[in-house]
Amino acid sequence: MRLLPLSLLIFTLVPWSVFNFVSAENQEEQFAWSESRPLQWSDFKGQPGTVPPGFERPYEVAAFTLTWTESQWRFEKTSSASCQYKITQMDVPAYFLPHSSWVKSEYENDYLLKHEQGHFDIAEINARQFRALVGQVFPCPAGKFDVTKINAEISQNWSDNLKQLEDMNSQYDKETNGSQNEERQEDWNAKLQSLLNSIPQSYSTSNQLGTNLTCPDDYHYLQSD
């Protein structure tokens, strides 16, 4: 496990949100994003004011949300004359970590909770976009079916996907001013719902992963507060 060199801080008044990608030493209780299971304040079980090392804030923070995502994939060579590979499986969950997430009781309200849900929704949207690679066919790097090079190529796509996640969260917090701009928050609520409605959720969940699978040793976390 190593710290990923991806971070962004947005300074606003309380309540507000900011996010960073980090890696963690231990998994904890978690649950996956679900349309029928939106976040509730009772899910925020962490101790208010506590944050992972390196994320201490010199200002008051109303709430702290930690989610994480990882990617696992499988591919195979196609039967075409030219060397091509097809992605046959792409497992990309978006999880919420209750015991690393918290809210100060005086800021518990439906409006701020909806903003925090937005960060979780963005993680799910990003995961779905990467799952959409299932079934797609790509030319082999350098024209040869080299598993190492193909995994490296998909890993680069994953890194690019995380950058898109970072950028979208940055735009979300900037435009909503960490939830304080109510008009823009409503715009984003509608935008995120539209994206969730338009991007299919289905993807492979098989645990029978083959030799062409790569599971990065970095568990990518998205933290917002």
Q: What is the DSSP letter of 207?
A: S
For residue range 146-190, what is the model confidence (pLDDT) as tens digits? 999 999 999 999 999 889 988 998 899 889 988 889 999 999 999
* Per-residue pLDDT, 225: 40
Residue 51 has pLDDT above 60, yes or no: yes
Nearest to 12 by CA among 161, 179, 205: 179
- 59 conformational bin, left if phi > 0, alpha if psi -120 to 50, beta if neither: beta
Domain regions of the chain by residue span: 7-203
For residue range 20-35, what is the model confidence (pLDDT) as tens digits? 333 344 456 889 999 9
Which position has the token pair 């060579």?
77
Radius of gyration of the chain (CA): 19
For residue range 185-223, what is the model confidence (pLDDT) as tens digits? 999 999 999 999 998 886 433 333 333 333 333 333 344
Residue 130, Cβ neighbours under 10 Å: how many?
23
The pTM assigned to this predicted structure is 0.76
* Per-residue pLDDT, 17: 34
Read off the pLDDT band of 63 (50, 70, 90). confident
Which position has the token pair 């963690």?
24
Nearest to 117 by CA among 22, 210, 43: 43
Three-state DSSP at 130 gives helix
Distance of CA 32 to the CA centre of its chain: 11
* Per-residue pLDDT, 140: 94
For residue range 100-148, what is the model confidence (pLDDT) as tens digits? 898 999 999 999 999 999 999 999 999 999 999 999 999 999 889 999 9
Q: Would strands 137-139 and 31-32 be described as parallel, antiparallel, or unpaired?
A: unpaired
